[in-house]
Amino acid sequence: MSQNKIKLLSNKGLSLTDFSELTKFRLSITVVISSIAGYFLAVDVVHYPTLLLLIVGGYAMVGASNVFNQVFEKDLDKLMERTQNRPLPTERMHPNTALFIGVMLALIGITALYLINIKTAFFASLSIFLYACLYTPLKQKTSLSVFVGAFPGAIPFMLGWVAATNEFGIEPGVLFMVQFFWQFPHFWAIGWVMHDQYENAGFKMLPSGKPDQITAFQIVFYSFWTVLISLLPAFHYTGRLYLTLPASILVGFLGIFFLYASIQLMFLKTNKAAQFLIRTSILFITGIQLIYVLDKFLLQ
């Protein structure tokens, strides 16, 4: 190894801020909260060691996925204003350092989740593979990358249930479907706002390739199915996952608001409407997870 390379490696220290940006701290925390919600929905009595392993393992796995994504896209991140200040594009961190962190996080995550049960570790490992090895390279080739990326993105909500029960059935299946369908309007709204930056980096994120009527209609279409699936537990055909009438009404109201934001984007076709949908979609998914959990412990 050359002296310049050795110097480059030694000069790249790891600060807490860089680690946070590399693992996308806020996004990772929301994903972990989603897993926690799934866990609480499956248990009557909380087993705190399992919950702690789920939190540590969940953050490590999501963090690893984000690290691998940034290593693979370090040159593309320089082309977008939103990502150009990350540790790798600015060269505050050497790619080898980031790759090492990603591998260590993956090992920590798999180990922690394996200690819960093998199914939890399997689904989490599958999530990393799909996100890093399929979704990430496909972003430059086809808008179907969003479809591929929706699979790892939907795993965390159901992962908590699997961690609690060591089973995969209709209940975690419904949790998976809710978050799977939700991701399309959410990420297409982001793609709408970020279209110029994504296009500059060569990312193909919108179904029609641009923010137009076709994309807007599909956003409404997937929003409708998201709302419909979120209400399935209200009909008590989803095993141990079900909603009382008051909770179903609250979920319905959130769904109407979410659908309204999608329809508004279809008619207005503006970045402002897309930003409103992004905020509304986050409110919706956070709100229904909270309602599901509170309904189980307070109303059932």
CA-closest candidate to residue 15, choices 98, 80, 103: 98
Which of 133, 153, 168 is at the close of a domain?
Answer: 168
Which of 153, 168, 183 is at the close of a domain?
Answer: 168
Which of 168, 196, 229 is at the close of a domain?
Answer: 168
238-286 per-position pLDDT tens digit: 999 999 999 999 999 999 999 999 999 999 999 999 999 999 999 999 9
Domain of residue 272, residue span: 169-300
Amino acid at 126: L
167-201 per-position pLDDT tens digit: 999 999 999 999 999 999 999 999 999 999 999 98
The rounded distance, in Å, linking the Cα atoms of 126 and 104 is 17
Inform me whether the pLDDT recorded for 9 exceeds 90: no
What total of structural domains would you count in the chain? Answer: 2
CB 157 within 8 A of CB 289: yes
233-240 own/partner pairs: CB under 8 Å, 24+ apart: 233/174, 233/292, 238/170, 238/171, 238/174, 239/169, 239/170, 239/171, 240/42, 240/171
Read off the CATH number of the domain in which 118 is found.
1.10.357.140
Residues 140 and 244 in one domain: no
Residues 178 and 127 in one domain: no
pLDDT computed for residue 15 by the predictor: 84
95-150 per-position pLDDT tens digit: 999 999 999 999 999 999 999 999 999 999 999 999 999 999 999 999 999 999 99
pTM of the entire structure?
Answer: 0.91
272-280 own/partner pairs: CB under 8 Å, 24+ apart: 274/189, 274/190, 274/192, 274/193, 274/211, 275/189, 275/193, 277/185, 277/186, 277/189, 277/219, 278/186, 278/189, 278/190, 278/193
The rounded distance, in Å, linking the Cα atoms of 137 and 114 is 28
Amino acid at 10: S
Average pLDDT on 150-171 reads 95
